[in-house]
C-alpha cells in the first residue's frame, strides 16, 4: 500500500472511529410536533373521530391516524423501544410516561386566516403546539410531585432533556401558499422564522436532540394532482412540477435554518431528515420496490387516475334509501399501495420510508436514529 493510500485509509478510520466507539443514544421519551404525517389522535380527539377503514390494517379500528395503520413516528417509537405516543389532546386512556404528541392534522407553521369550519386549517399551528408543550411540561411535573394515581402516567423530570424531539410540518403551509398567490420567498422566510422560534422555545425548556423531517413531494399526492390545472407541467413520473419545486424551495430554506440553529446551539444535536428524497424514490420506482399505482389513492371514490374526490373522501358514507352506504372504500390490498387516502401514505409505504431513513442514509449529518444525540462533531451532551 502506498503512503498516500495509507494516509487516506487512516483519515477514513479516524472519521469513522467516533461513531464506532459511541454508544447508542438512550432516549427515554419522544415529543412530537407537526401535522397529519405524525398525528396519532390529536385532530380526532379535538374535532371528531375518524371512521373505518382508517386504522383497519394494524389497529383493526380507527386509531386517530390518517392511514390504514402505523405512521413513521410509530415505527420510530418501536425502533427506540418506546410505546406509541399518546396525543396531548386525547383525554381518554392517554399515557404520557414516555412522551407526548402535539401534532394535529391540517396544522401549519404559520397560523392561517381560513378556519377549519371554512374548509381551512387546524387552529393548532406550530406556535400553539409549542405553548401546549410548555404547559404539558409544567403540569406533568406538578402532577409528578403531587403523586397519586396519575403519577405513573407522567414523564420524569430528566426526560425532557434526554428526549428526542421530532418535528414534521410544512406540507399544509405549501398548499396554503400556492392557493393564496402569496410570495413564496416571503412566506417561507416567515415560516422559517416561526420554525426557529419554536425550536428555541423547546431548547429553552430543555430540548437538546432534534430529529427534523423536511416536507415530501407535494406534487405527487393525489389530492394535489386532482386540483392541478390542465396546463400545469407534470414530470416523467406524473407529479406536478410546480408543487414539487415549491417543496424543494421550502426544504432548501429549512436545511439552511437547521444548519443555523446547530451553529447557534452547539451543545444540541440536530438531524435534518430528507423525507422528500426517500418518498420520491419510492413513488418514482414503486414497481421496483413492490408497490403499484403510486399516484392513485387506495381509499377513496371516483376511480380515474387518482381515485380522489374531495366531496367523497376515504370513509365517506351516503344515505341510500334510509341506509348508510360506504362509498369511500379501501382498495383490496393496501400493502401494495403508496397513497392511502390521497393525502397520506399507507402503513406499508410509511414502513418503507422509515426503513430508508432509520440508518441515516437520508440525513444530515448522517446519524442513524439511535445516534441522533450526537451532533456533526460526534459529541454527546
3-47 pLDDT per residue, tens: 545 555 544 444 454 455 689 999 999 999 999 999 999 999 999
Residue 231: per-residue pLDDT: 73
User: In whole angstroms, how far apart are CA 221 and each of 42, 125, 243?
Assistant: 23, 22, 10
Average pLDDT, the chain: 92
Residue 6: per-residue pLDDT: 54
Between 329 and 3, where is the model more confident?
Answer: 329
User: In whole angstroms, how far apart are CA 343 and each of 186, 211, 224, 245, 362?
Assistant: 26, 23, 8, 18, 22
Q: Is residue 2's pLDDT more than 60?
A: no
Contacts of 120 (CB under 8 A, 6+ apart): 106, 112, 113, 114
**Whether 215 contacts 251, CB under 8 Å:** yes
Q: Which string of DSSP letters, residue by residue, matches 214-231?
A: ----GGGSHHHHTTS-TT
Residue 368: per-residue pLDDT: 96
Q: What is the mean pLDDT of residues 168-189?
A: 93
Q: What is the mean pLDDT of residues 136-165?
A: 96
Q: Which string of DSSP letters, residue by residue, matches 31-60?
A: EEEESTTT-SSHHHHHH----TTTTTTTTS
pLDDT in tens, 187-226: 999 999 999 999 999 999 999 999 999 999 999 999 999 9
Catalytic residue positions, numbered: 36, 341, 344
Nearest Cα to 172, choosing from 357, 39, 311? 39
Between 323 and 12, where is the model more confident?
Answer: 323
Taking the model in full, what pTM does it have?
0.92
Nearest Cα to 294, choosing from 356, 349, 218, 234? 349
pLDDT in tens, 219-264: 999 999 998 877 789 999 999 999 999 999 999 999 999 999 999 9
Residue 7: per-residue pLDDT: 54
First-to-last C-alpha distance (Å) of the chain: 39
1.10.3330.10, 2.130.10.10, 3.40.50.1110, 3.40.50.300: CATH of 27-291+345-371: 3.40.50.1110
Residue 9: per-residue pLDDT: 53
* Widest CA span in the chain: 85
Residue ranges per domain, the chain? 27-291+345-371
Say how far apart CA 32 and CA 99 lie, in whole Å: 8
Say how far apart CA 142 and CA 299 lie, in whole Å: 44
> What is the DSSP code (8-state) at residue 301?
S
Amino acid at each position: 500500500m502506498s503512503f498516500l493510500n495509507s494516509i487516506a485509509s487512516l483519515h477514513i478510520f479516524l472519521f469513522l472511529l467516533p461513531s464506532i466507539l459511541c454508544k447508542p443514544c438512550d432516549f427515554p421519551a419522544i415529543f412530537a410536533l407537526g401535522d397529519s404525517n405524525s398525528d396519532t389522535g390529536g385532530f380526532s380527539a379535538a374535532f371528531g373521530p375518524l371512521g373505518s377503514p382508517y386504522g383497519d390494517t394494524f389497529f383493526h379500528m380507527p386509531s386517530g391516524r390518517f392511514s390504514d395503520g402505523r405512521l413513521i413516528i410509530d415505527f420510530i417509537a418501536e425502533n427506540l423501544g418506546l410505546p406509541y405516543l399518546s396525543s396531548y389532546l386525547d383525554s381518554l386512556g392517554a399515557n404520557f410516561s414516555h412522551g407526548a404528541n402535539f401534532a394535529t392534522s391540517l396544522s401549519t407553521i404559520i397560523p392561517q386566516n381560513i378556519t377549519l369550519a371554512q374548509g381551512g386549517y387546524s387552529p393548532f399551528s406550530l406556535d400553539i403546539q409549542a405553548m401546549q408543550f410548555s404547559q404539558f411540561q409544567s403540569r406533568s411535573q406538578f402532577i409528578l410531585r403531587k403523586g397519586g394515581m396519575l403519577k405513573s402516567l407522567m414523564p420524569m423530570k430528566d426526560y425532557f432533556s434526554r428526549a428526542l424531539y421530532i418535528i414534521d410540518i410544512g406540507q399544509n403551509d405549501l398548499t396554503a401558499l400556492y392557493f393564496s398567490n402569496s410570495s413564496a420567498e416571503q412566506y417561507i422566510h416567515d415560516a422559517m422564522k416561526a420554525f426557529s422560534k419554536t425550536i428555541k422555545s423547546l431548547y429553552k425548556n430543555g430540548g437538546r436532540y432534534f430529529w427534523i423531517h423536511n416536507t415530501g413531494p407535494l406534487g405527487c399526492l393525489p389530492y394535489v394532482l386532482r386540483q392541478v390545472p390542465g396546463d400545469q407541467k407534470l414530470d416523467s413520473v406524473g407529479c406536478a412540477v410546480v408543487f414539487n419545486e415549491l417543496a424543494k424551495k421550502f426544504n432548501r430554506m429549512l436545511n439552511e435554518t437547521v444548519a443555523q440553529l446547530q451553529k447557534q446551539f452547539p451543545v444540541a444535536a440536530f438531524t435534518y431528515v430528507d423525507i422528500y428524497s426517500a418518498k420520491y424514490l419510492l413513488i418514482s420506482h414503486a414497481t421496483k420496490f413492490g408497490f403499484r399505482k403510486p399516484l392513485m389513492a387506495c381509499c377513496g371514490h371516483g376511480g380515474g387516475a387518482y381515485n380522489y374526490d374531495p366531496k367523497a373522501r376515504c370513509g365517506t358514507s351516503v344515505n341510500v334509501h334510509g341506509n348508510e352506504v360506504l362509498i369511500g372504500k379501501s382498495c383490496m390490498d393496501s400493502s401494495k399501495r403508496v397513497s392511502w387516502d390521497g393525502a397520506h401514505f399507507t402503513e406499508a409505504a410509511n414502513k418503507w420510508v422509515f426503513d430508508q431513513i432509520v440508518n441515516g442514509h437520508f440525513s444530515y449529518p448522517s446519524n442513524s436514529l439511535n445516534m441522533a444525540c450526537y451532533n456533526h462533531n460526534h459529541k454527546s451532551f
